[in-house]
Amino acid sequence: MIKRIHILGASASGTSTLAEALSNRTGYCHFDTDDYYWIPTEVPFTQKRNIWERKELLKKDLENTSEWILSGSLCGWGDIFIQHFELVVYLSLPKEVRIKRLIEREIQRYGTEIEQNGKRYKLYNDFIEWASKYDEAGTHMRSKALHDIWLSKLPCPVLKIEGDKLVEERMNIVLKRLEWT
């Protein structure tokens, strides 16, 4: 039985949401790469951890848990964990849907802080601009091109789920693959 799953995709493609739903259904622990990549700060998502520390923190959690779901991207910095994956799920959404979700999420998280005179205005605009490049960018950044190459080299099965589906639909696709149905 598959016990170690990695879910990735572009920002706002639903990786964390799907991982959380699967975790609730299966009882597997859910880990998110953002929790390892970023240092918790007063202004979130502004200070990166050094790569060695990210790897050590994630290694400890993955090695101390037999059944887990890891959401988010770790291409490049976390390739040492590939050997642990038994299934990788790649979520793909149209750019317009992702960016709309991303804007809604940022408004929900930060409210007026992302408005023109808000303290997160520049961070917000830079983030939306970065995320909007995902489909067209080369391999120099987190992009579809980078993910496609990374996915093609994985030694485990890859399940691609494309399109704007409900969380329940996506979860059922994965559960069917896990033979949970």
Q: What is the DSSP string of the chain?
A: ---EEEEEESTTSSHHHHHHHHHHHH--EEEETHHHHB---SSSS-SBPPHHHHHHHHHHHHHT-SSEEEES--TTTTGGGGGG-SEEEEEE--HHHHHHHHHHHHHHHHGGGGSTTSTTHHHHHHHHHHHHTTTT--TTSSSHHHHHHHHHT-SS-EEEEESS--HHHHHHHHHHHHT--
Hey, what are 152's tokens?
């093609």
For 4-34, how does the pLDDT look when each residue is reduced to its tens digit (9 = 90+)? 999 999 999 999 999 999 999 999 999 999 9
Q: What is the pTM of this model?
A: 0.95
Residue 126: alpha-carbon gap to chain centroid:
19
Dump pLDDT digits (tens) for 71-117: 999 998 999 999 999 999 999 999 999 999 999 999 999 999 999 98
Report domain 4-178's class.
alpha beta
Largest CA distance in the chain: 52
Measured CA to CA, the distance from residue 19 to residue 35 in angstroms comes to 14
Give the per-residue pLDDT at 65. 97
